[in-house]
Amino acid sequence: MSNYDLIVVGGGPGGSAAAKEAADAGLKVIILERGRFCGEKNSSGFGLSPKAARDFDYIKNVDVPSLWPTKFGVMHILQPKPSNADRMTWGLTPPKRNSYPEASEYMVQMMYRPEFDQWMADVATKAGAELKLTTLAINVIWEGKNVAGVVDGKGNTYRAPVVIAADGAHSLIAQKAGLRKKWDKDQITVLSTIDFEADPERIAEYCGDTNVHIFMGPDRGGYVTIFRDGFHVGSRPAKTLQTEVDANRNLCTRSVIDNVQLDFTQRLIKATRAKPREFQLHFLPWLKTFNERIYTGGLMLTGDAAGVPEPFMAEGVWQAMYSSRLAARVAVRAHRDNDFSKAYFKQYMNELKISPVGIDFTSGTVLRDFFSEWTSQTFYALFDNLADAMFYSMLTMAEPHAQGMLRIPGILADMTPQLLFMARYYLPIAEEASRDKITGFLGGIKSMAPMLQNMMKATEGEK
């Protein structure tokens, strides 16, 4: 039996962020990781958002071999099946108006998870945390109504007044502590990815700074993310397991294989001499409401185990790091106050809910079904019309300019229902944001919201 001040279950970015914070504050911390190395069980590729650099000083020093900053992204609006061609593409670059500098410098930093997770574990161990690999925590130890430690698969016991469970979506600790038996089918999405290995020089030449590609079409969606020496082709998100059961077919694996066949992906494969290297399935919480059952006496759940991934863009690493650091701070306070009760740890949930993670989550829930919608006919028609109005009608060399220009008002009028449909997603977010800071613009939107929302009811049929 070993005694600690804090046990962290799971050596992902969340677990390591918690361990670093607690070790810096002087706690005796151990991380238990079931993999033979950190990141061994993590799939689906990842881009670390600039938020992580904003909130964690040490992230500015990240340096791993696959690191590939991404300045530009491209949105591919695809033709309907069976075509594999783009109808149009839009380039995306970070906006100039941002609340912090990193957000204008890059969109995400692409890295492979084993590299990043091990880098993060080094940050934690350098701060003084102990890391125990190849150790699967399978049960909790109770002391009265409080969790007071964990047991691993070999029967070893680890005791501490506080346990932080950062053990992923299928958290055994959450189950054993009675916080949930399983997620609902409609709370989980599975992303399927295929990793390709590719020639780094050809990637640099062919892709440059443009390393995120998002696919959107009337009947499909997905993404490609590019690393220094390979890339991921990903499936269409936002189809929950419930959707798959209802559709009676596996949508995520079908989607990723469709996305490999796209003209863009095939060109990328050819240009970078790429070969498929790894097939991955990523089980991801995709919640409709903030999960409040994330604490009990002596225990806090963080990251995917808590269900905090933002349910719009499916970002989860920054959320895991942020929620875990918050939990570690509460753990430090609990030691100071010598109170490890369930009532005490409620402050973790309350603080998380009003933190940037909680606020972003709430906005995400409003947009949750956006990814399903954007692979709908409505969105396709919207972009198709927008392109016709903004570009083809003006830039055409096929007919006299005046004739092209004259078509624009008619196209815009046709688009009214589609624009209102977009507004249906935009307005609740604007309202949410304005709760914090009512600017003149958002205030105006807010006062118009009820009126516009009434107007939008007429467009329900469009969906």
Partner 1 sequence: MEKLIIEKRELVTVIESPVDFISVDHEKCVGCKNCVIVCGMNLWKIRDGKAVIEMDYKKFCTECASCYTVCDYDAIEFTFPPAGYGVVYQRG
Q: In whole angstroms, give the CA distance from residue 359 to residue 363.
A: 6
The H or E element spanning position 17 is: helix 13-24
Query: Smallest distance from the beta carbon of 282 to partner 1, in angstroms?
Result: 7
In the bound state with partner 1, the residue whose beta carbon lies nearer, of 244 and 388, is 244
Query: Smallest distance from the beta carbon of 265 to partner 1, in angstroms?
Result: 9
Can you give the binding site for partner 1, defined by CB under 8 A? 34-36, 39-46, 112-114, 134-136, 138, 152-154, 169-170, 172, 182-183, 185, 188, 190, 192, 194-195, 197, 230, 241, 244-245, 248-250, 252-253, 257, 260-261, 263, 266-267, 269-270, 276-283
- DSSP letter string over 311-356? TTT---HHHHHHHHHHHHHHHHHHHHHT--SHHHHHHHHHHHHHSH
Q: In whole angstroms, give the CA distance from residue 401 to residue 403.
A: 5
Query: Smallest distance from the beta carbon of 252 to partner 1, in angstroms?
Result: 6
In the bound state with partner 1, the residue whose beta carbon lies nearer, of 13 and 297, is 13
Helices 263-271 and 251-260 cross at an angle (nearest 10°) of 60
In the bound state with partner 1, the residue whose beta carbon lies nearer, of 117 and 360, is 117
Q: In whole angstroms, give the CA distance from residue 269 to residue 405.
A: 39
Query: Smallest distance from the beta carbon of 200 to partner 1, in angstroms?
Result: 14
Q: Say how far residue 25 (Cα) sits from the centre of its chain.
A: 29
Query: Smallest distance from the beta carbon of 385 to partner 1, in angstroms?
Result: 30
In the bound state with partner 1, the residue whose beta carbon lies nearer, of 82 and 400, is 82
Query: Smallest distance from the beta carbon of 382 to partner 1, in angstroms?
Result: 29
Helix (H/G/I), strand (E/B), else coil: 137: strand
Task: Find the angle CA(412)-CA(417)-CA(418) to the nearest 5 degrees.
Answer: 75
In the bound state with partner 1, the residue whose beta carbon lies nearer, of 183 and 374, is 183
In the bound state with partner 1, the residue whose beta carbon lies nearer, of 46 and 322, is 46
Q: Is the peptide bond before 450 cis (omega within 30 degrees of 0)?
A: no
Residues in the chain, total: 463
